[in-house]
Structure 1
Amino acid sequence: MKNILLPTDFSKNSKNAIEYSLKLFEGETVTFHILNSQKPTGYMTADVLYGAAGDSVYDGILNDNKKELEKLIRHCESQSENENFTFVPKIDFDNIVDAVNQAVSLNNIELIIMGTNGATGAEEVVFGSNTLKLIRKANCPILAIPEGYVYNKIESVLLSVNYQYELKTDALAVILDIVRKHDSTLKILEIEENNVEVNSPKGNYIDLFKGINIERFCIKNIPSAVAIDAFTQLIPVQLHAMFVERKSFLDRFIFGSETSKISYSSRVPLLIFRN
């Protein structure tokens, strides 16, 4: 049985990520932990003034969010009547990172699935603030679903690798599970950037993919964001997986370097592992 965490703020983007999750795990036994995290300090005084007499601000927020969560779970159950899915609601009064990491620890969460965006601002058009916080700090792999992305059969998975980092076998297990279930082709894109010192691959990680249809590609002297964007335009994939070790690399990958100013805009769901 799998344990999957679905953070939600009840927005259209978060609901779309949940819809994607139900399709992704069809035919499996899965417990979906649906988490709504709110910080009471984020509410305006008006939210308190219109509460019923004697209610605390916590009661008001809890009741509203509980109703929304129950409504969301009823919708999920109606969409998956023939599946062996269990939906567990969770409301937490905490910042999103602490709430998620606590849920990951307590429930043996294997994967977090959420929408990519939802915030405004120049830097956060593609990845919303909560998504970025979790990519940087969550103790679990994250699958980020682009706004409006509709589930498609996963025929090809792109794994972009950079020899700056060692590939972790436990993280690769998540990719292998998806590839085997959907009988997908794994396209491995090896990237060597300009002026970036790379190491030789530590061990033959290709041995981990025995029995899987693999295609290998190599791009040199091009920034990762440019290489991947070009690759996904030329060769269709339905999922992109990558490893991130340092915050600086993540920021450079998503927002672009100071010199190139070229940023990454995810065309397909992005599966991120932090080494």
Structure 2
Amino acid sequence: MKNILVLTDFSQCSRNAIQYAINFLKNETCCFYVMHVHKSSSFTLDDLMSSATANVYESVLKAEKKRLQKLKEELENTSLYKHTFETILAYNNFIEATHKIIKEKEIDLLVAGFNGVSNTSEILFGSHTLSIIRRIHCKTLVIPEDVKFQNPKTMLLPLDAKDDIESKTFENLLLTAKDYGMQVHVLRVYETESTGNRYDESYLLKHYKEVDYIYHAVENVPLDYVKSCYVQTHEIDMIGLIVQKESVFERLFKHSSTTAISKTLKRPLLVVHP
């Protein structure tokens, strides 16, 4: 059984991410842990005063517990697959709470929505999702708010000159795509001239004969430009990213505001870390 952690703020964006993940994992036996993180800043004086004779934690989080339970019941009543659902209500620093549950529940995949919103109630799906991608070392599926589920048939896997094609991280992405029946477009981008692409091709041919892949190497072009052009000229359903310090992810969204990123991010991201 796979353990899946899904983050929710009860918005439509988060519900869309949950539904996408359920359909994406329809052939897997999974336990979905649906987690809401209660912000400490949302505790008000009225909350505390009204809790004088009751447990503060229980009183303040009562509404969230009810919403989580309702969401769980909705998911259970509509699920068509071998999935079970549990709820988690956390009161902690957002990243710390996510780290804690990933470790405790031995999470295989983290799922979050993305709408690029910041400084609003939908905090999970703007800057917080970007923080997850950068700081949470767990395989993560990020679903843009406007993306509805269709069986993904192709994955773009962009690599820069630093990404190691022999790494377990690369293998993880490639085999995940294979398991879900996706053709992988491996796109190696050298922003200067290089002759390394011949090694890539020979390595792929030797070790991944069972994987349906296409390989391209591009030189002397910025990575973000190559990625943008490629997804416009090819049928790409999902993007796989290896995220490390000064990685492809940072380069793709370099100098981008949250709003600009949300306009750029139009396909699901499957993110892995070394």
TM range (shorter): 0.7 to 0.9
Q: Do the aligned residues in 1 keep the contact of 2:169 with 2:272 (CA within 8 Å)?
A: no
- The structural deviation recorded for 1:118 is 5.3
Do 1:241 and 1:272's aligned partners in 2 also have CA atoms closer than 8 Å? Answer: yes
Alignment of 1:5-20 (within 5 A): 5-20=5-20
For residue 253 of structure 1, what is the aligned residue in structure 2? Answer: 252
Task: Name the counterpart of 1:269.
Answer: 268
Q: What 5-or-longer segments of structure 2 have no aligned partner?
A: none
Residues in 2 aligned to 1:46 and 1:166: alpha-carbon distance in whole angstroms: 54
Q: Is the 8 A contact 2:193 2:219 kept in 1?
A: no
Distance 1:145 1:208 in 2: 30
Aligned 1:45-124 pairs, distance under 5 A: 45-48=45-48, 51=50, 54-80=53-79, 82-117=80-115, 119-120=117-118
What's the offset of the Cα at 1:52? 6.2
- Cα 1:205–1:46, aligned 2, differ >3 Å: closer, same or farther? farther
Name the residue aligned to 1:33: 33
Is the partner of 1:218 in helix, strand or coil? strand
Aligned match of 1:193: 191
CA shift digits 1:85-144 (9 cap, x unpaired)? 0112111111111111111111221111111235326xxx9x612101111111202111
For residues 193 and 95 of structure 2, the distance between their equivalents in structure 1, rounded to whole angstroms, comes to 34
Instruction: Please say if residues 157 and 179 of structure 1, whose CA atoms lie closer than 8 Å, have aligned partners that are also in contact.
Output: no
Q: How does 1:230-245 map to 2 (within 5 A)?
A: 230-245=229-244
Distance in 1 separating the partners of 2:12 and 2:174: 27
| Higher mean C-alpha displacement, 93-102 vs 241-250 | 241-250
Please state how far the C-alpha of 1:174 moved relative to its aligned partner.
4.8
1:23 equivalent in alignment to 2:43: no
The corresponding residue for 2:182 is 184
1:269, distance to aligned residue in structure 2 (A): 0.3
TM-score (normalised: structure 2): 0.84
Question: CA separation of 1:248/1:162 partners in 2, compared to 1, >3 Å: closer, same or farther?
Answer: closer
Cross-structure match for 2:44: 44
Residue 253 of structure 2 aligns to a residue whose secondary structure is helix
- Write the letter of the residue equivalent to 2:241: M
Distance in 1 between residues matched to 2:177 and 2:83, nearest whole Å: 17
Q: Distance in 1 between matches of 2:47 and 2:227?
A: 45
Q: 1:163-178 maps to which residues of 2 (within 5 A)?
A: 163-167=161-165, 168-170=167-169, 172-178=171-177
In the alignment, is residue 129 of structure 1 matched against residue 116 of structure 2?
no
Instruction: In structure 1, list runs of 5 or more residues that go unmatched.
Output: none
SS of the residue corresponding to residue 134 of structure 2 reads helix
> Aligned pair count?
264
1:204 aligns to what SS in structure 2? helix
Residues 207-246 of structure 1 mapped to structure 2, 5 A cutoff: 207-246=206-245
Amino acid at match of 1:192: Y
Is the Cα contact below 8 Å between 2:133 and 2:243 reproduced in 1? no
CA contact (8 A) 2:9 2:36 kept: yes
Question: Using the alignment, how far apart are the partners of 2:141 and 2:58 within structure 1?
Answer: 32
Q: What one-letter code is carried by the residue in structure 1 that aligns with 2:30?
A: V
User: Over aligned residues, Cα RMSD in angstroms?
Assistant: 2.9
The alignment's TM-score, normalised by the length of structure 1, stands at 0.84
Secondary structure of 2:72 counterpart? helix
Q: Work out whether residues 193 and 223 of structure 1, in 8 Å CA contact, stay in contact via their aligned partners in 2.
A: yes
Offset of 1:157 from its aligned partner? 1.1
